[in-house]
Structures are given as structure tokens and as C-alpha cells.
Amino acid sequence: MTKNDINSVFNPVGRLLKTIAMGQVLSLLICGTAGSCQYLADAGVETPMLQSFLNYALLLLTYTPTLCIHRGDANILKILRTKWWKYLLMGLADVEANYMVVKAYQFTTLTSIQLLDCFVIPVLMVLSWIFLKTRYRPLHFVAVVVCLLGVGAMVGADIVAGRNQGSGKDAFSLVFHC
């Protein structure tokens, strides 16, 4: 077996392990964000835009340099010249959605918000497929099914446990508090 044969066998496994590790780190960061948002909401802190600012700053610092070094159609200048308005609309929708999620911590429980968070992934995949013409592999659709099964499992666990979370108090003020 040559060195190239060995690399071709272990390269997909290494990529898979790297992807799983990165997903776990992302999950840990999302969990930290959710916990801190719940803690701040319980303490009476109402700064949803400021709480999301760090996430957006990290995304800017991570992806802008990456897109700047790409060549061809993946370059940031090419993307901004051709699809700037689509990314602007999706960015505005994302900012508003994050605002509403962080604001929701003042009105409901962590479990309810995690349900919302789990459902966001499939919805954003559909929106990016429609508006950004993103194409997904079958593995991505399997991941969406796993997300939806997770949503169902969380709902089922709440039903089995007999929890009545989120009393609904001030539910309409979440929408009209802006």
C-alpha cells in the first residue's frame, strides 16, 4: 500500500472527525450562549442586541478573512458584486431572529427556546435553498431529519414529564415590545 492509498483511506475519516469535533464545539458555544441569556434574563438584564453582538463580531472576524483569500466565485468581492442584496436581506432576517430569540428568554423557559433553536436549522436551509440557490448533499438532509427528531424528542420528553413550561404570560408583549 502506497502513501497515497493510505491518505485516500484516512482523509475522509479525518474530515469526518474534524467535522464532528467542530460541531461539538459549536454546540458547546450555543449552550453557553443559551445559559448566559437565561441567566441574564433571570437577573432582569434586557440587552438582546448587545448579547448577540459578540456572535456577529466573531463571525465577521472568522469568515471575512477566509472569503478574502479565496479566488474566483468564492471571493468576497465577487459575492458582494453579484448577490449583495440577498445577503443583506438574509442578514437582516438573522439579526431580527436572534433579537427575538434572546428577547424570548424574558418570557419563557430555556427548553422552549431550545425547541425554537432546533427548528431554525431546517427553516434556514429551506430559505437559503430558495433565495441563495444553495444546493445540499443527501447528508445535509439526514442532518435536518436528526434536528427535527430532536425537536420531537424534546416535545415528547416534556409531555411525558408532564411539564407545563412557559405560562404564556406577556406572550404578546414579546412581539410588540420592540
pLDDT of 52-67, one tens digit each?
787 788 878 887 887 7
pLDDT at residue 129 greater than cutoff 50: yes
Cα–Cα distances (Å) from 125 to 54, 85, 128, 137, 156, in that order, read 23, 18, 5, 12, 24
C-alpha 47 chain-centroid distance: 20
pLDDT at residue 168 greater than cutoff 60: no
pLDDT at residue 26 greater than cutoff 70: yes
CB-based contacts of 125, cutoff 8 Å, min separation 6? 134, 136, 140, 144
Q: Quote the pLDDT of residue 4.
A: 55
**What is the amino acid identity at position 156?**
G
Residue range 46-99, pLDDT digits in tens? 787 787 787 788 878 887 887 788 777 777 888 788 888 888 888 888 888 878
